[in-house]
C-alpha cells in the first residue's frame, strides 16, 4: 500500500524496503489550499498545487490499494487548530502542514517500535546535522528505538568540537579501519539526517549490507532518486534543525525544562538554526518561530560557551594563507591555500567566511587539497561564501565544476553558501618529492581558477600560463 500527496507530477512512488502502511514522500512542492510555503525572495517560482489534507479526509480505495488524500474541508476543527497554531507561534496553514508531517513520522516510528537504527551524518557534520540527529534519537526513544549516531569523517571546526564536548552530544566517529570493519547486521535500518547519502562514506557499506533506508530528513535540494519509507525534503527551509523543532512543536516529543538532555538538545538545535542562517541574518519566519520555541528550554550560557570556542593555530594559518594568496576579480576573492591535513578541513570555510568581509568583495571562494592520511587519499575541497543576493551558490558551483561520470555534481549550495569536493583520482596520494608536490598543486590551482574565472569574468576567463 502506498500513500501519495496528489496531484504532483514530480512526486514518484518510492519502493519501501520492508512492509509498511505507506511510502511517505513530503517535499517543498506540497502545498495547502493552493498556497505555497514562502520561496526564496530572490527567485520566486510557481509550483504545482498539491493538497495535503488532514487525516480525517483520508479515503481508502479497495480497488487500487492506494490511499488517496483529498483536500480537507473547513469545519469546526479549524478553531482548535488555530488555537494550537497560535500557542506554537505558527499560522493555521503552517500548523496544518506541520501536523501532517509529524503524524506521518509518528506512524513510521510506531511501525519500527523496538528496533535499532543507524543515524548517518555527513562525513564532516555541522551543528545543524548534529542537533537534528540528537533530536531524532530523543524522539525515537519514546518508541523504544535505539539509535546510534555516526559520522565517517572528523569534527574540525572549533564550535562543532565544543558543541559535542560541552553537551555530551552522542555522536561517534567511525573512520578508517573501524569503518571497514563496521558490522551493520545489528541494525534494522538507517536514517539520513541533513544529507541524502552523497556526503557520507557509509553509503557503500549500507548498500552492500542491503540495509534499508527508513527516513531521510534534509533541507537541501534533492540529489537524486531516494528509496526510503519516509522522506521530508524542504529545500526552502534554512535548517534541518528548524524541521526537527517543528516536529517537537507538534508534540512528537514534549520538552521538559527539568530534563538535562532536553535542555542540551534544545541548545544544540538553537545553535543549528543559528549557524545555518548566518546568525539568523538569513532566517525566515519559520526559523525565528522555531528559535522562539526553543528559547523556552535552551541554556544560553552553554550556547555562549560553544560560540566562544577559540580557533586553533592551524586554522589561523590557513586564514593567513588565504589572505596572502587571494586574487580579486570583479568583487570575487579567490584563494587557494595549498595542502591541508584531513583534520583541518573546516579551516577552508572559515577562511571563506573571513575573506567575504573584505571591502568591495561580495563573494569569496577558498579551496585546498585535503590529505587523508588513513586512506592515503587526496581530494580538492572548496567553500563559497557570498552576500550578493542575486548570486545563487548552488547554480554557480554546479555550473563551474559540473558532474562526475555518474551524473553527480561535484558540489552545490544553499542561500549565501556553498561547497565542492573533487576527487583527485590517479594523482591522489602523498609524494615525498617536494618538486612533484609543488607542480601538482600548481596544476590543480590553475584548473580551479580557470573554471571560476569563466563565470567571474567571462570576457577574460582564460589563464595565461606564460
What cell was used for 289?
A: 518561530
Residues with Cβ within 8 Å of residue 161, at least 6 apart in sequence: 155, 309
Angle between helices 240-249 and 127-141 (to 10 degrees): 30
Is the pLDDT at 15 greater than 80? The verdict is no
Give the chain's mean pLDDT.
Answer: 81
Q: Among 18-22, 186-190, 290-294, which is the least confidently predicted range?
A: 18-22
Identify whether the C-beta of residue 232 lies closer than 8 Å to the C-beta of residue 226: no
Nearest to 368 by CA among 420, 305, 411, 314: 420
pTM for this predicted structure: 0.69
- Look up cell 482548535; give the residue: 80
192 DSSP assignment: E
Q: What is the pLDDT of residues 228-284, one digit of tens each?
A: 999 999 998 999 999 999 999 999 999 999 999 999 999 999 999 999 998 898 899
Residues with Cβ within 8 Å of residue 159, at least 6 apart in sequence: 127, 271, 275, 306, 307, 309
Nearest to 290 by CA among 87, 84, 90, 82: 90
Angle between helices 285-294 and 240-249 (to 10 degrees): 60
Q: What is the pLDDT of residues 191-242, one digit of tens each?
A: 999 999 988 999 999 999 999 999 999 999 888 777 899 999 999 899 999 9
372: left (phi over 0), alpha (psi -120 to 50) or beta: beta
Residues with Cβ within 8 Å of residue 328, at least 6 apart in sequence: 334, 361
- Look up cell 560541552; give the residue: 166
Q: Among 13-17, 128-132, 432-436, which is the least confidently predicted range?
A: 13-17
Nearest to 184 by CA among 160, 210, 146, 220: 210
HEC assignment per residue over 146-176: EEEEEECCCCCCHHHHHHHHHHCCCEEECCH
Percent of the chain beyond pLDDT 90?
60
50 DSSP assignment: -
Percent of the chain beyond pLDDT 70?
78
Nearest to 383 by CA among 421, 409, 427: 421
- Look up cell 545543524; give the residue: 128
Angle between helices 92-111 and 77-87 (to 10 degrees): 90
Identify whether the C-beta of residue 286 lies closer than 8 Å to the C-beta of residue 242: yes
Q: What is the pLDDT of residues 321-359, one digit of tens each?
A: 999 999 999 999 999 999 998 888 889 999 999 999 999
Q: According to DSSP H, which parts of 73-181 are helical?
A: 77-87, 92-111, 127-141, 158-167, 176-180
Q: 106, exposed or middle or buried, with CB in 10 Å at 0-12, 13-18, 19+?
A: middle
pLDDT of residue 465: 39
Bigger pLDDT: 103 vs 6: 103
Which strand ranges, in their side-by-side order, compose the sheet holding 417-423?
327-329, 332-341, 363-372, 377-386, 417-423, 411-414
The pLDDT of 97-110, averaged and rounded, is 94
pLDDT of residue 75: 44
CA dihedral 182, 185, 188, 194 (to 10 degrees): 20
- Secondary structure of residue 181 in the 3-state scheme: coil
- Measure the CA angle with vertex 409, ends 225 and 402; round to 5°: 140
Identify whether the C-beta of residue 74 lies closer than 8 Å to the C-beta of residue 222: no
Residues with Cβ within 8 Å of residue 205, at least 6 apart in sequence: 179, 182, 184
Amino acid at each position: 500500500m502506498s500513500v501519495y500527496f496528489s496531484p504532483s507530477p514530480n512526486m514518484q512512488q518510492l519502493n519501501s524496503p520492508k512492509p509498511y502502511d505507506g511510502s511517505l514522500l513530503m517535499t517543498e512542492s506540497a502545498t495547502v489550499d493552493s498556497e505555497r510555503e514562502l520561496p526564496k525572495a530572490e527567485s520566486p517560482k510557481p509550483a504545482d498545487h498539491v493538497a495535503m489534507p488532514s487525516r480525517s479526509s483520508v479515503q481508502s480505495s479497495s480497488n487500487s490499494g492506494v490511499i488517496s488524500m483529498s483536500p480537507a474541508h473547513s469545519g469546526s476543527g479549524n478553531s482548535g487548530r488555530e488555537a494550537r497554531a497560535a500557542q506554537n507561534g505558527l499560522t493555521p496553514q503552517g500548523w496544518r502542514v506541520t501536523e501532517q508531517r509529524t503524524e506521518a513520522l509518528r506512524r513510521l516510528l510506531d511501525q519500527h517500535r523496538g528496533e535499532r537504527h543507524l543515524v548517518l551524518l555527513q562525513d564532516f557534520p555541522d551543528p545543524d546535522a548534529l542537533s537534528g540527529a540528537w533530536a531524532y534519537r530523543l524522539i525515537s526513544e519514546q518508541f523504544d528505538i535505539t539509535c546510534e549516531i555516526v559520522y565517517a569523517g572528523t569534527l574540525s571546526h572549533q564550535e562543532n568540537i565544543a558543541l559535542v564536548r560541552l553537551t555530551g552530544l552522542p555522536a561517534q566517529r567511525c573512520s578508517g579501519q573501524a569503518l571497514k570493519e563496521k558490522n551493520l547486521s545489528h541494525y534494522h535500518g538507517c536514517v539520513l539526517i541533513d544529507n541524502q547519502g552523497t556526503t557520507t562514506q557509509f553509503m557503500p557499506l549500507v548498500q552492500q549490507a542491503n540495509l534499508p533506508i527508513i527516513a531521510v530528513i534534509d533541507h537541501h535540494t534533492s540529489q537524486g532518486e531516494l528509496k526510503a519509507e519516509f522522506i521530508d525534503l524542504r529545500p526552502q527551509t534554512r535548517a534541518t534543525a528548524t524541521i526537527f523543532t517543528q516536529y517537537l512543536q507538534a508534540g512528537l516529543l514534549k520538552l521538559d525544562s527539568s530534563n538535562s538532555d532536553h535542555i542540551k538538545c534544545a541548545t544544540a538545535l538553537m545553535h543549528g538554526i543559528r549557524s545555518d542562517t548566518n546568525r539568523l541574518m538569513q532566517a525566515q519566519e519559520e526559523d525565528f518561530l522555531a528559535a522562539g520555541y526553543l528559547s523556552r528550554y535552551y541554556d544560553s550560557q552553554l550556547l555562549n560557551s560553544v560560540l566562544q570556542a577559540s580557533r586553533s593555530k592551524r586554522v589561523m594559518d590557513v586564514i593567513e594563507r588565504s589572505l596572502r594568496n587571494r586574487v580579486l576579480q570583479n568583487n570575487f576573492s579567490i584563494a587557494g591555500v595549498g595542502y591541508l591535513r584531513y583534520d583541518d578541513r573546516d579551516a577552508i570555510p572559515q577562511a571563506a567566511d573571513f575573506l567575504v568581509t573584505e571591502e568591495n568583495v561580495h563573494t569569496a571562494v577558498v579551496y585546498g587539497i585535503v590529505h587523508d592520511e588513513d586512506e592515503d587519499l587526496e581530494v580538492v575541497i572548496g567553500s563559497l561564501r557570498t552576500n550578493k543576493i542575486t548570486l545563487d551558490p548552488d547554480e554557480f558551483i554546479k555550473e563551474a565544476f559540473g558532474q562526475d561520470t555518474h551524473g553527480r555534481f561535484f558540489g552545490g549550495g544553499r542561500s549565501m553558501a556553498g561547497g565542492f569536493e573533487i576527487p583527485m583520482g590517479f594523482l591522489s596520494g602523498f609524494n615525498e618529492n617536494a618538486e612533484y608536490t609543488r607542480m601538482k598543486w600548481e596544476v590543480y590551482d590553475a584548473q580551479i581558477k580557470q573554471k571560476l574565472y569563466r563565470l567571474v569574468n567571462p570576457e577574460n576567463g582564460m589563464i595565461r600560463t606564460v
